Amino acid sequence: MFDIGVNLTSSQFAKDYADVVVRAREAGVNGMLLTGTNQHESEQALRMARELTNCWSTAGVHPHDSHCWDDRVAEAIYALASQPEVVAIGECGLDFNRNYSTPQAQEAAFSAQLAMAARLSMPVFLHCRDAHSRFMTLLEPWLDKLPGAVVHCFTGTREEMQQCIDRGLYIGITGWVCDERRGLELRELLPFIPAERLMIETDAPWLLPRDIRPKPASRRNEPALLRHILERVAYWRGETPDALESITDANVRAFFGISF
């Protein structure tokens, strides 16, 4: 199994991130993508990827941090993205749900990172929440210039999902789908995602699957819980966990150009 979304730079993991990785390995997670969401965390994710076996990282600026985007940050992200352990630009995109940065700042940072990814011939690790129409409008002109794009933690509608698939995007599924309150619509969409476009992730320490028992004492999510997500997704898709693991691992290898 490969977890394409681990926020190992989170302060929740500051004291025990090495133990978190050990537990993940023991649970059958053979590799992880460590997410960068701003310059500092992208630098930190790269250091961790160099330290840990079968870990890679992204470099980018999350829509929440888009107000920090400037020429200096752009140069730093470009330098990070040129390192071999960094295999995607992101997490970048649009989030009009919270608007921690203005829509204008988000769009400027997103467009700049798409241009950077195209220049570097790197895939993009994308974030979209309550912004699908504008997100696709900005992304569309770059799709034929990018080697790949994955919508991390997809939570949209069936129409939005189909549009992403029609445009060649990959879909990342998290433990959101295990939430009986807000994950039911996404659960119904799972059978319609082509297997060759699907990836799985925890988004740890966030999005602890609500149906997991017993719940961890820390109440945080960990990559060690990826197996639970894999098994639930496989069940709702009518597949075996082994079959889903095989295809999603193959997707990761092809998309990011890595071996694990």
Q: Of 85, 76, 154, whose CA–CA distance to 113 is shortest?
A: 76
Domain count, the chain: 1
Which residue range forms the structural domain that includes residue 158?
2-256
pTM of the model: 0.97
Q: Residue 148 contacts by C-beta under 8 Å, 6 or more apart in sequence?
A: 123, 124, 168, 170, 255
Encode pLDDT of 88-110 as tens digits.
999 999 999 999 999 999 999 99
Spatial distance between the Cα atoms of 139 and 100, rounded to a whole number of angstroms: 21
Strand partners, 32: 3, 55
Residue 152 marked ligand-binding: yes
Angle at 50 between CA 48 and CA 54, to 5 degrees: 90
Residue 64 marked ligand-binding: no
Mean pLDDT by 10 residues, the chain (260 residues): 99 97 98 99 99 98 98 99 98 96 98 99 98 99 98 98 98 98 96 98 98 91 98 98 99 98
Show the tokens assigned to 242: 């082994």
Encode pLDDT of 173-225 as tens digits.
999 999 999 999 999 999 999 999 999 999 999 999 999 999 988 899 999 99
Q: Which CATH number covers residue 208?
A: 3.20.20.140
Residue 203 marked ligand-binding: yes
